[in-house]
Amino acid sequence: MSEKQVEILENLKGGWDSLIRAKDVVSNILAVCDLARPTLENKGHGAYYFDYGAAELRVMLDKHDTDIYQASRILSLLSDKAMDLDSLLGDVTGKLGSSIDFLTASTEKGAPTHD
């Protein structure tokens, strides 16, 4: 294996390791979204609401519901983007893996073709 191929292989392996870590982060993001979204969407009202008059309670509940809905929409968007990223990282991981296999095989068997 030439010096350049060794350098490329080291860079590819470093990229591979980074992608594996990134995929783990994406999995964690998806898990947090899956846990937080139902909690926000089904947030119950606390007992302290009984201390307010009807008009104050209505304003407070409207704001509370709006905040929860907006937070849930943000988490939905975050979840969608994380799934997109997960798909892209899977594609890149496969390509890096085949490149590493190509460079590794060239030292073992001669000069394979790269698909």
Arithmetic mean of pLDDT, 101-111: 70
The 10s digit of each residue's pLDDT in 28-53 is 888 888 888 887 777 655 557 778 88
Domain boundaries along the sequence of the chain:
3-109
Question: Is residue 108 predicted with pLDDT exceeding 70?
Answer: no
Give percent above pLDDT 90 in the chain: 2
Q: Using the structure block, give the residue that is written with the tokens 């350049």.
A: 4
Burial class (CB in 10 A: 0-12, 13-18, 19+), 62: exposed
pLDDT band of residue 96 (cuts 50, 70, 90) is confident
Distance CA 97, CA 90 (A): 10
Pair of tokens at residue 27: 């999995």
Arithmetic mean of pLDDT, 2-23: 86
- State whether the Cα torsion 90-22-39-61 is positive or negative: negative
| C-alpha Rg value of the chain to the nearest Å | 25
